[in-house]
Amino acid sequence: MGPALEHYQAMIVLSRQMLEAARVADWPRLIELGQQRDTVEARLPRAPHGDVGRAEEQQLVAALLAANTLIEQMVETQLARLAEAAGDAGG
């Protein structure tokens, strides 16, 4: 397994952990995991990715994007709840 594939796989693991943190509303953990994933992404070897086939790379990126979409939806829902609670508390 080459370095690009290892980085993508680490990002997938972190994204899944982020998704679980969002599901249980563990926002500090979500932020921590997001920072870890950003660090892994910053170290991702840039093109060319000789050790990752194009189809495999597309699958990994699609999985990352799908997880990100779900996480964003959960965060947006939580932000809406907080805004509503703040509005209710304000009178």
Task: Count the domains in the chain.
Answer: 1
- Residue 55: predicted pLDDT: 80
Q: Which domain holds residue 50?
A: 3-90
At a CB cut-off of 8 Å and minimum separation 6, what does 51 contact? 1, 2, 3, 4, 5
CATH number of domain containing 18: 1.20.58.380
| pLDDT tens readout for residues 38-80 | 999 998 877 555 656 778 878 888 999 999 999 999 999 999 9
